[in-house]
Chain A
Amino acid sequence: MTSDRRPGLALGAVLHHLVSVAVAATFLLPLVWVVAASLRQPGLPPARTIEWIPDPVSIGNYAEMFRLLPFERYLLNSLIVVAIAVPLTLVTASMAGFAIAQLEAPLRRRLLVFAVALLMVPISALWLTRYLLFRQVGLVDDLGALIAPALMGSSPLFVLLFYWAFRRVPVEVYETARIEGAGALTVWQRVAMPLAIPTIVAVSILAFLLYWSDFISPTLYLKSPESYTLPVGVRQLQQLDRTNWPLLMAASVLLAAPTVLVFAVIQRQFLRRDGVLD
């Protein structure tokens, strides 16, 4: 019986691989085009055909970008925001998730519903009045305004992720620690967090992405060009030369490269064949 099914299986596997490759290639295609476009020599008229590899290859656009606007400054500001906001997020979100995991229903369920409900609040409902609030507090034109959401865990999603992670741990583990006289904070730090490493990594990446890509907050809350972050800088570049595609693609590559790199390094943990998901 089994031997009869072998050729079918093999054909199925090949087909599966082909389809998977095609799908993966489709998702990667635009990115390949973008990198290729960014390497086109500045000053040439626009290309009339698809250029997989420009001739000649030139990094002139990357240089031009830094010449037109202070991108080093923007990079630095983005890094500062991320360096502070991500650790802060990990602390506040995990603490909140831990606290909820320790609670009994019905309070626990109410808080969960609250967190999920928060997820549904459209951000555009908050820009305006947050802006007015920050104005009152004097946080306008301060990187602090960009970091402020980290104080609440940045996103209810992170709180929920930690909640799920902590709940997977058997209650006995927490009980043991508590019996040995550990306070809530110690249990969180010594017992819960070490058990949630995958979640910590996941939230780190997601938080990094959130703060690195943030465009609306810096646009609204930052005044002086010295405090601009990278997404705002890229937008400025677009305003300066709206249809200079090689230049804009170079700026996009610069903006996207860190997140892509971080993702490339970390993704194996989660997405590989025997990883967390399987």
Chain B
Amino acid sequence: MSTASRLGAPLVAALVAAGSVGALPAAAQDPSVVAPAGDVSFMVFGDPAELVAYQELVTSFEAAQPDIDVELIHIPDQADYRQRLGLDFSAGTPADIVLINYRRYAQFAARGVLEPLGPYLDQSELVGEAEFYPEALEPFRWMGELMCIPQNLSSLVVYYDKALFDAAELPYPTDHWTWEEFLATAKALTLDTDADGRTDQFGLGTEASIFRVAPFIWQNGGELVTLSDRGLPIRLAFDTPAAREAIQWFVDLQVVHHVVPSAVEEAAEDSESRFQNGRTAMFLNSRRGVPTYRQITGFDWDVAALPQHTEQAGILHSDAYCMPASAASKDAAWKFIEYANSAPGQSVIARSGRTVPSLVEVSQSDAFLDPAAKPANSQVFLSSLPTIRAVPVLPGWVDIEELAGEELERAFYGNASVDEAIAEAIARTQVFFGPGE
């Protein structure tokens, strides 16, 4: 026998023995009993005030689950966040848990890079599907599967500065006011206080985006998109009379009535900054603004429902916890997502003011409705839920919103007629709609 084979046989025998010795304990252990542990990363966007809320959430989670460490990655700006998300996915290194808006997750879901969380939710003992508002869950169902767990479902509301209303001796907005009342109020609050020919105080501030004009289109009985026979969006419907009328009304706020800053004035100081500094009376925003506005001392503000027209409609704002398919420790990541969307977790975030909780129970609790915390009229977020609608969920929606938004902005600042803008918007976005099947 050669040296090699003389050594070989005992070696092989030793290996086999070692393997079988190792195998026994492994077989005796039940893997499902092992608690998930490890480090997970959690990426969020938001103002510094919102970050504090997420930090509290992480702290309380780590107290409940000491084996899991959560690293919080904070990207202040929404646009940067989108870019970061895309870059991370393309690098194959996204965070283990990412917060994604329902308007933007479809492009990732369509490419199969998200882990469907529906099955995890079904197995959860902490929280069940039935406890969420169905309006919040619905947009996150992709091809029948629930992909992400939403943390909130906010609507668009009108923030208003009570001091400026008082100064103009105007009554505060009611929850059922109309477009006409809204416009009249805005006009009454647009003032040239030092008579220098330049407006010093504006009645209203808003973004000129599709996302802001959509509820007004719906309230006028119009639609955003035309559907195919199968019920799938195939083109923008802005040229229908109802939609066109609503867009014209929205654009007229700046072009005709000047209750909103012009392009030059917006560039000099943006509307949200003006609102926060008491130079604009009303501001259109979702629940997102609350944590930051709460921090401003001496600022007395509240929220009112959007003004209504021939129909009632609100627009859904919702962000969800998603898990990339490439996440390393999926169980640990799920533990965090589960906690964050159970009653204790959602209460922590709700108390910061950031969210309208997606769990029915939490949304009706003091965590959200605390009478001592601004806005006093938080109830309006809940009462608008029956008429809330979502924009279409499409992989190409991000591009559609961006391109149509450029056209709308052009019309809003008086550089194109509404008809021109609508025609361009429809033509340029056509390629991003699917075949409708």
B399 contacts chain A at the CB level, 8 A cutoff: no
**A241 — which chain B residues lie within 8 A by C-beta?**
273
Tell yes or no: A196 within 8 A of B by CB.
no
> Which of A101-109, A113-121, A220-228, A251-259 lies at the interface with chain B?
A220-228
On whether the beta carbons of A239 and B91 are closer than 8 Å, the reply is: no
B76 contacts which chain A residues (CB < 8 A)? 69, 236, 239-240
**Interface size range of chain B in the complex:** 20 to 34
Q: Is the CB of A236 within 8 A of B93?
A: no
Q: With a CB–CB cut-off of 8 A, which chain B residues contact A242?
A: 270, 273
Q: Which of A45, A141, A223, A243 contacts B270 (CB 8 A)?
A: A243
Q: How far is the CB of B69 from chain A (nearest CB, A)?
A: 15
- Report Cα–Cα, A220/B80, bound state, in Å: 11
Per the bound structure, the CA–CA distance linking A167 and B277 in Å amounts to 63
Is the Cβ of A240 less than 8 Å from the Cβ of B48? yes
Query: Quick one: closest B residue to A238, CB to CB?
Result: B77
One digit per residue, 1 when the CB lies within 8 angstroms of any chain A CB and 0 when it does not, for chain B 65-107 equals 0000000011111011000100110111100000000000000
- Contact (Cβ within 8 A) B269 A243: yes
- Chain B hits for A223, CB < 8 A: 73, 84, 87-88, 93
Smallest CB–CB gap between B364 and chain A, Å? 33
Give Cα distance in the complex from A143 to B112, angstroms.
Answer: 31
Which residues from A are CB-within-8-Å of B88? 223
Question: Which residue of A is nearest B274, CB measured?
Answer: A243
Instruction: Establish whether residues A46 and B269, one from each chain, have CB atoms under 8 Å apart when the complex forms.
Output: yes
Give the chain A neighbours of B48 by CB distance below 8 A.
68-69, 240
Q: Is the CB of B93 within 8 A of A225?
A: no
B73 touches A224 (CB 8 A): yes
A243 touches B273 (CB 8 A): yes
Q: A45-B277, A46-B269, A243-B268 given as contacts; is B91 within 8 A of A140 (CB)?
A: yes
Residue of A nearest to B83 (CB): A219
Which of B47, B75, B84, B90 is A135 in contact with, Cβ under 8 Å? B90
Give the residues in chain A near B268, CB-CB below 8 Å. 46, 243
A131 to B92, CA, bound (A): 12
Determine if B269 and A141 form an interchain contact, defined as CB atoms under 8 angstroms apart.
no
Once A223-B73, A223-B84, A225-B75 are accepted as A-B contacts, the answer to whether A140 and B93 lie under 8 Å apart by CB is yes
Whether a CB of chain A sits under 8 angstroms from the CB of B162 is no
Pair B80/A239 contact, Cβ less than 8 Å: yes
Write the chain B residue with the least CB distance to A223.
B88
B96 to chain A, nearest CB (A): 13
Chain B residue contacts of A244, Cβ below 8 A: 273
> Cα distance A131–B47 when bound, in Å?
28
Q: Are B273 and A240 in contact (CB under 8 A)?
A: no
For A132, give the chain B residue with the smallest CB separation: B90
0/1 interface trace, chain A 124-137, chain B, CB 8 Å (1 if under): 00000001000100
Chain B neighbourhood of A224, CB < 8 A: 73
Nearest-neighbor residue (CB-CB) of B88 within chain A: A223
Q: How far does the Cβ of A60 sit from chain B's closest Cβ, in whole Å? A: 15
A45 CA to B279 CA in the complex, in Å?
9
Give the distance in Å from the alpha carbon of A68 to the alpha carbon of B76 in the complex. Answer: 10
**Interface hits, A125-158 → B, CB 8 Å:** 131, 135, 140-141
Considering the complex, which residues of chain B in the window 258-272 have a beta carbon less than 8 Å from any beta carbon of chain A? Answer: 267-270
6 further contact pairs, Cβ within 8 A, besides A225-B75, A240-B76: A68-B48, A135-B90, A135-B92, A224-B73, A236-B77, A239-B76
8 pairs of A and B residues whose beta carbons are closest in the complex: A239-B77, A135-B91, A243-B269, A243-B270, A140-B91, A240-B76, A243-B273, A239-B76
Offer 16 A-B interface pairs, CB within 8 angstroms, sorted by A. A46-B269, A68-B48, A69-B48, A131-B87, A135-B91, A140-B93, A223-B73, A223-B84, A225-B73, A236-B80, A239-B79, A239-B80, A240-B76, A242-B273, A243-B273, A244-B273
